[in-house]
Structure 1
Amino acid sequence: MKKFLVFLIASLMVFVVAACGSNGATSGEGEKNDTKQESEELTIKHQLGETKVKKNPEKVVVFDFGALDTLDKLGVEVAGVPKDNLPSYLKDKYSGDKYENVGGLKEPDFEKISSIEPDLIIISGRQSEVYEEFEKIAPTIFMGVDTTKYLESFHENVKTLGKIFGKEEEAEKELAAIDESIKKLKEKAEASGKNALVILANEGKVSAYGPKSRFGLIHDEFGIKAVDENIEVSTHGQSISFEYIVEKNPDYLFVVDRGAVVGGQSSAKQTVENELVKKTNAYKNGNIVYLDPNYWYLSGGGLISVAEMVKEVDNAIQ
């Protein structure tokens, strides 16, 4: 009997040790999976190079307002933004004390950025010349839109942000909705048979933008025929005279007022609606359209801004 009891106790001890060993292995495996998830890195290819980015970075500094409004739409928080230049539709939220002020679009505060110790910095064209300075502080990716292929580039940027922050499904859903609205606008625009000219008004002067340019998506993606297919493609547009506008005589004249968001004073209407421009079909038919520069000039390329840009043009087309 004693031998039987000794045997029984020994067997139970072996079972308990084995069970503990099994639980320990499972726990260790879970910890490894958690660690792997936390330390997972993505290699992001962008216009300025390749950057290794940790998935779900916690501290993010954003200089591109299109990227900022995409993150806002996807429910992703950030740590710092350039408060000196915030577009109106983002100002109420991001001018608050919760977010650090990292300077201006053209004058980043590198000392402030460094003090945040960000896990990721997102920039675009206005900061591209100092990309290497950002890289010294933290992994930096370029999220500016390639205007020669606007929608494709916009899609890539949104999907990249969705991947980095684990918001792939939400990103796809928002993109699908925008694609549908653009499809309807394009059908409407092409059916109208009307043409258009897009201009930037700045301190009494005007410059024109055609296909594949900064504001060229009106032609390339929204389907409104350009009144002039040979406008020079450049960041600042092709300098034109008011005589040129009369000569081309567009059905629609889309105006982006730079002064309204840079100098704080809107002078586009006084500049554009002069005696010469009043001779055009655009003026005669009430088709001079003042686009919101917060979306078109300061921002663009984001889930919020692109959706609003589509709405503005759609509301203008008859």
Structure 2
Amino acid sequence: MKNWKLLTVLMAMMLLVLAACGSKDEAKKEDKGSSDNKPAEEQKGEATSYPLTIPGSTNGEDTFKEVTLDKMPEKVVVFDYGFLDTLDVLGVKVAGVSQKSLPKYLSKYSGKDYVNVGALKEPDFEAISSMNPDVIFISGRQAAAYDELSKIAPTVFVGTDYTNFLESFKTNTELAGKIFGKEKEVADAITAYEAKVEEIKAKTAKSEDKALIVLGGEGALSAYGKGSRFGVIHDIYGVKAADENIKAETHGDSVSFEYVRDTNPDILFVVDSDAVRNPNGESGTKAAIENEIVGATNAVKNGKVFYLNPETWYLANGGLTSETSKIEDVLKAFN
């Protein structure tokens, strides 16, 4: 009888152990199932962590304060066309843009699905305020309106630093990836860009041709060298400069046709600002530059005058598409 009672107790204990093991297995399955149901970006550990603090920055005499975003922005206003270019490549939804001077390759943002937030240098504060945006992205052209825009929404400066272009371009692009959870896409895009840079550097390293960069518009002519608005040609691409002493002024170093002749570049790169300033695209820059004085240069004699795309060089500097396009423009001079 005692043996029978002992056997009964042992069987009961075994059943309890088996039940406990089964519960643990079910719990593991439930945990695994809940993990599988998480968004892909969370499973990979790539989700942007909010609140997100963006450090302040300076641009010459202008200072832009640190801002904190509590969540991923949904209503996004963009004034800087280069940053708009990058957001477009990354597939980020934008709500408002400055439509007046939009580059043609970004013309979809001129449609009725997007709020026109005013001109590049004259924001429409009322239109922006009525949108109740989560963030506003600006660059140098909107610096004077920064304080007023900051009262409406967190305002982030995303202009490029011409004296340290490559780093600032990468910083802005990586910021876009971080804010909108697109870090992987940004890393791939930057890798592709760097490959193009190496491609053009390999070409320019083998050439002894020296280049001059000029901006033509509104009846004036300006030269640009290293560390300037168009200095990437020398600083990043490795093109040799016809004049090493050009002042790195914001609007270039004012020059004459005689200066171009005396500098005698082997390659002449021309940015025509009138072609994008005028609503109908009309410009007299080409006719003005191609005169007898400039005609005495090696660049003209050897057919090496190249008109750079003013939309990417003048309007949309610092975008993923525009920066790749700029390399293609300069490559033409060395192919």
Shift of 1:266: 2.0
Q: Distance in 2 between matches of 1:204 and 1:292?
A: 19
Letter matched to residue 75 of structure 2: K
Question: Identity of counterpart residues, as a percentage?
Answer: 53
Shift of 1:311: 0.8
Q: Distance in 2 between matches of 1:242 and 1:55?
A: 54
Q: Distance in 1 between matches of 2:306 and 2:65?
A: 38
The 5 Å alignment of 1:99-138 reads 99-138=114-153
Q: What does the per-residue CA deviation read over 1:83-123, in whole Å, with 9 as the maximum and x for residues that have no partner?
A: 111011101x1011110000100110000000110000000
Report what 2:231 is aligned to.
216
Is 1:257 the equivalent of 2:267?
no
Q: What does the per-residue CA deviation read over 1:20-69, in whole Å, with 9 as the maximum and x for residues that have no partner?
A: xx9xxx9xxx9xx99xx898211112332311123421000000001000
Letter matched to residue 196 of structure 2: S
Contact 1:63 / 1:122 at 8 angstroms: preserved in 2? yes
Contact 1:59 / 1:78 at 8 angstroms: preserved in 2? yes
TM-score, length basis structure 2: 0.83
Q: Distance in 2 between matches of 1:184 and 1:270?
A: 33
Is 1:81 the equivalent of 2:91?
no
Contact 2:48 / 2:179 at 8 angstroms: preserved in 1? no
Q: Secondary structure of 2:331's match?
A: helix
The 5 Å alignment of 1:51-70 reads 51-70=67-86
Q: What does the per-residue CA deviation read over 1:153-187, in whole Å, with 9 as the maximum and x for residues that have no partner?
A: 10000001100000000001001001000111011
Letter matched to residue 268 of structure 1: T
Give RMSD over aligned pairs. Answer: 2.3
Letter matched to residue 94 of structure 2: V
Contact 1:255 / 1:291 at 8 angstroms: preserved in 2? yes
Shift of 1:203: 2.3
Q: Secondary structure of 1:43's match?
A: strand
Q: Distance in 2 between matches of 1:181 and 1:55?
A: 35
Structure whose alpha-carbon radius of gyration is higher: 2
Q: When the two structures are aligned, how many residues end up with a matched partner?
A: 291
Report what 1:187 is aligned to.
202
Q: Distance in 2 between matches of 1:218 and 1:38?
A: 35
Letter matched to residue 43 of structure 1: T
Report what 1:16 is aligned to.
none
Shift of 1:297: 0.4
TM-score, length basis structure 1: 0.87
Q: Distance in 2 between matches of 1:220 and 1:55?
A: 37
Out of 253, 263, 278, which is 2:295 matched to? 278
Q: Secondary structure of 2:204's match?
A: helix
Is 1:148 the equivalent of 2:158?
no
Letter matched to residue 293 of structure 1: P
The 5 Å alignment of 1:2-21 reads none
The 5 Å alignment of 1:6-45 reads 40-45=50-55
Report what 2:326 is aligned to.
309
Contact 1:60 / 1:118 at 8 angstroms: preserved in 2? yes
Q: Where do 5+ consecutive residues of structure 2 fail to align?
A: 1-26, 40-46, 59-63
Q: Distance in 1 between matches of 2:322 and 2:67?
A: 26
Q: Secondary structure of 2:68's match?
A: strand
Contact 1:243 / 1:276 at 8 angstroms: preserved in 2? yes
Shift of 1:224: 0.3
Letter matched to residue 232 of structure 2: L
Contact 2:48 / 2:180 at 8 angstroms: preserved in 1? no
Shift of 1:248: 0.6
Report what 1:7 is aligned to.
none
Q: Distance in 2 between matches of 1:213 and 1:38?
A: 34
Runs of 4+ displaced beyond 4 Å: none
Report what 2:259 is aligned to.
244
Q: Distance in 2 between matches of 1:266 and 1:50?
A: 41
Contact 1:200 / 1:208 at 8 angstroms: preserved in 2? yes
Q: Distance in 1 between matches of 2:68 and 2:250?
A: 29
Q: Where do 5+ consecutive residues of structure 1 fail to align?
A: 1-21
Q: Distance in 1 between matches of 2:302 and 2:317?
A: 28
